[in-house]
Amino acid sequence: MIERYALPAVANIFGDVARMQRWVEIELLATEAQEQLGVVPQGIAAQCRELAPVVDQAFVDAVAERERVTNHDVAAFVDVLQESIGFPAGSYIHHGLTSTDVVDTGWCWALRDAMVIILEEMTELLAVTSSLAHEHRDTLMIGRTHGIHAEPTTFGVKVALWTLQLRRDEERLRNALDGIAVCKMSGAVGTYSNIDPSVEEYVGNALNLTPTPATQVVARDRHAEYMWACASLGTTIESIAVELRHLQRTEVNEVREGFTKGQKGSSAMPHKRNPISAETLSGLSRVLRGNLQVALQDVPLWHERDISHSSAERIVLPDSSMLAYYMVRRLTSLLTNLEVDAQQMRYNLDLLQGVVYSQSALLALVENGMSRDDAYRIVQQLSRKALDTKTHLRDVLVESLDVNLTHEQLRFIFDESRVLEHASKTIDAL
C-alpha cells in the first residue's frame, strides 16, 4: 500500500518486522507445546525463548539474504532463527511443522488484529452518523429518485439510513473476524502426521485463535469472507460519498465538505471548493472490490494446496485491511466537519411550485370518487401547468374545473408535517 493511505495503526501490523515477530512467537509456542509432550527435551523451550533474537530490520535483512540461497522465505527464516538461537536448542525450532503452519497462523493473527482496529474505528463512525441523524431529524429537504425531485424527506432520515447500513457492515465485519481468527498446526497435508493435535490447541489458546481443520493451508473462503466484508464496507462508504458529491454540486449546494484554512480547491481556479474526500472514497472502494475478486479466485487451490494464492495475498490482504481502515477514518472526518445548509435545502424543496405533492393530490381526487387513471392524468397535466406558468400547484388546483377539492383537502395535500409524520421512524430505529 502506498504511504498516502497506509495509516500506522493497521499498516504496522503488516510490516516485515511485525510479520516475522509473529512467526518467531508461533515457533516458540510450538516448541513449548512439544516440550510438554516430551517430544522436545526438557529445558529446550526456555532456552529457545531466552536466546531468540530481537526481530528488527537487521533480522529481516538476514532472512532476505538467506532467501537468496534457499529461494524459500520460511525456510530462510527458520535457518536464521535456528542459527541465532544456536545448537542444540535451535535444532528443535520448526519441529514437526510445515511452512504454512507458521504462515497461515501468522496471517490469521494479523488479520484478526487488523479487523479489531477497523471495528474500533467503526464505533466512532457510527457515533458520528447517529448524532448527525438526530441533529437533522427535522431538517427538511427534497427527496430525489432518478436524480429528479420526488417528495419531501429530511436530511436526518437520509443519514439514519446510512447508519443502519453501516451497522449491517459492522455485523459483516464481526462475522469475518470470527471466521478469520483461526489457526492450524497440522502439518504437511493437515493430518497431524508429525505433530500432535495438542500443539495446535496450545498455540491457539496462547494467541486466542481457534484451531481449525485444514489441508496444508487454512481454507481460503475465510479470507474471501474477510475481503467481502471490507469490500462491502467500502461500497457502503462509496454510496454515502456519491450522495454527498451530488448534494455538493453547484446547482444543488445543500452540503459542503469542511474546508480548512489555507486549503486550495484547485491549482488554477481560486473559487473552487471540491468534494475531494468523497471522490477519494469513491475511488478507493473500486480497489477494495477489485481485491475481492482476487480473494475469490484464491479459494480454489490444487489438491491439498498450491501457492497460486500466496503472491496475490501478500498484496490484497494487507492493502484491503489498510484501505478499509483509512476509508472509515476519512468518512468519519468528512461527516464530522460536514456543513449542512438547511436554508438551501428549503430553497430547493420549494423550487417546483409544489408539484412534489402530486401524489397527495392524486389520492385526494381518488378519495373524492375519481378513477385513479383519470386522477393521475389530471394531476399530471396540472403539474405541468404549474411548472410552465410558475404557479403553485395549490393555486392551479383551485382554478381547475376538473377537480373539486375543499379548503381542508387542499391544506391536507400540502401539509409538510402530515407528509413527514412517520419519517422519523427511521431515526427512532437507531
Catalytic residue numbers?
Answer: 146, 266
- Cα 254 to the chain's mean position, in Å? 26
Distance CA 194, CA 216 (A): 13
**355: helix, coil or strand?**
helix
Q: Using an 8 Å Cβ cutoff, are 1 and 11 in contact?
A: yes
As given in the structure block, the three cell numbers for residue 142 are 427534497
Give every CB contact of residue 179 below 8 A, 6+ residues apart in sequence: 222, 225, 226
Distance CA 409, CA 267 (A): 55
Q: Using an 8 Å Cβ cutoff, are 218 and 212 in contact?
A: yes
Instruction: Give me the residues paired with residue 255 across strands.
Output: 340
Distance CA 239, CA 50 (A): 52
Q: Using an 8 Å Cβ cutoff, are 139 and 340 in contact?
A: yes
CA count, 13 A, side-chain hemisphere, 267: 0
| Rg of the chain taking only CA atoms, in angstroms | 30
Strands 210-211 and 182-183: parallel
Determine the straight-line distance between the first and last CA of the chain, rounded to whole angstroms.
35
Q: What is the DSSP letter of 40?
A: S
